[in-house]
């Protein structure tokens, strides 16, 4: 089960209003899990509005009763069955910071994997599939409406999640997430690793990337012992990535441990980390940066930022420590 970082993520959510939307069939299939997640948000000081389109028939009366009883701190609104559900949700007359659509599946990329996050520009490119997300509905139209609402600042962020046990909780309070986030208004910062809470999150991100085969193992004890060499990328004050400074000599330094939180990949966090690392090393007086990786996603990024794919003789010893791993070199 993913690790929850309640205190860290709660800071960005407390006092804000989230609108959660779920269609009838999905709500009936996952009723208890959805209700429990909304109650969890209430306990964290998050204001919630729940929109559904359960038909007003006898078989659903028990659901109406349970919603009223369980979600007494939530504004529960029924959308009539003959109305366009998504249009009603997106035009709901209340200022909310997030809309969460609970669906059958998340958005799937061309590689068959979940898309974790998208800008409105990338969402419009439509380089993903919907599976049976909305049945026969043309969801591309919904995505376009979502983008328009975000770009006009009517909505800050939209999450598309597969309904299930803990799905909302894990989307909002874990590093991995469970669905797809569409947003433009990320506040990004690059800063040294400072607190023990930050250390814990960095260690978790590094562990995930190690399991994916991109990094050598760096234990929590290692990070703690070398915390002065770690830098973090944060979005809205929450750590989403990190990198490690590895001094080689007085003029050269290695960019190591480049790792990004699963839910914020494809949001140019790698670009933020590398650019910021270059600027920081220039300030510290270094003349050369190297980095070693076989991650294909980083190759074009390194080359676009002025690195060369080469292994100078001066760093032969470092190369020998990682045989078969490509070295990238950049003069400052």
Domains of the chain: 6-183 (3.40.1160.10), 188-331 (3.40.630.30)
Q: Residue 216's pLDDT is what?
A: 87
How far is residue 161's CA from residue 182's CA, in Å, rounded to a whole number?
A: 11
The pLDDT score that the predictor gives to residue 104 is 87
First to last CA, the chain: 43
* Residues in contact with 227: Cβ distance below 8 Å, sequence separation at least 6, in sequence order: 193, 199
Residues in the chain: 332
196 membership: H or E segment, kind and range = helix 196-211
Q: CA 87: distance to chain centroid?
A: 26
> What is the predicted pLDDT for the residue at 133?
52
pLDDT at site 277: 96
- Predicted confidence at residue 135, as pLDDT, reads 46
Predicted confidence (pLDDT) per residue in 117-126, tens digit:
888 988 888 7
**Positions in the chain whose pLDDT score sits under 70:** 129-138
Whole-prediction pTM: 0.82
What does residue 227 show for φ and ψ, rounded to 5 degrees? -60, -30
pLDDT score recorded for residue 137 = 54
Look at residue 138 in the predicted model and tell me its pLDDT: 65
| Lookup result for tokens 């035009």 | 91
Nearest alpha carbon to residue 100 among 200, 8, 170: 170
């Amino acid at each position: 089960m993913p690790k929850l970082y309640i205190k860290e993520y709660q800071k960005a959510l407390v006092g804000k209003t989230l609108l959660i939307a779920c269609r009838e069939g999905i709500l009936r299939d996952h009723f208890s899990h959805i209700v429990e997640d909304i109650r969890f948000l209430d306990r964290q000081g998050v204001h919630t509005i729940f929109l559904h389109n359960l038909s007003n028939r006898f078989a659903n009366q028990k659901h109406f009763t349970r919603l009223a009883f369980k979600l007494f701190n939530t504004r529960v609104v029924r959308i009539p069955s003959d109305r366009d559900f998504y249009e009603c949700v997106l035009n709901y007359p209340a200022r909310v910071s997030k809309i969460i659509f609970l669906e059958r599946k998340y958005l799937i990329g061309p590689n068959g994997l979940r898309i974790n996050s998208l800008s409105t520009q990338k969402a419009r490119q439509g380089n993903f599939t919907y599976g049976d997300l909305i049945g026969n509905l043309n969801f591309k139209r919904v995505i376009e409406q979502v983008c328009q609402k975000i770009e006009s600042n009517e909505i800050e962020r939209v999450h598309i999640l597969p309904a299930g046990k803990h799905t909302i909780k894990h989307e909002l309070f874990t590093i991995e997430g469970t669905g797809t986030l569409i947003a433009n208004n990320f506040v990004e910062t690059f800063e040294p690793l400072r607190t023990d809470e930050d250390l814990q999150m960095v260690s978790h991100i590094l562990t995930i990337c190690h399991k994916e085969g991109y990094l050598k193992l760096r234990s929590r004890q290692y990070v703690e012992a070398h915390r002065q060499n770690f830098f973090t990328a944060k979005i809205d004050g929450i750590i989403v990535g990190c990198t490690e400074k590895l001094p080689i000599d007085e003029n050269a330094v290695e960019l190591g441990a480049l790792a990004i939180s699963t839910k914020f990949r494809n949001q140019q966090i790698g670009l933020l980390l590398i650019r910021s690392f270059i600027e920081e090393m220039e300030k510290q007086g270094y003349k050369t940066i190297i980095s070693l990786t076989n991650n294909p996603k980083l190759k074009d990024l390194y080359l676009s930022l002025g690195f060369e794919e080469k292994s100078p003789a001066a760093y032969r010893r470092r190369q020998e420590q990682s045989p078969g791993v490509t070295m990238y070199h950049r003069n400052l």
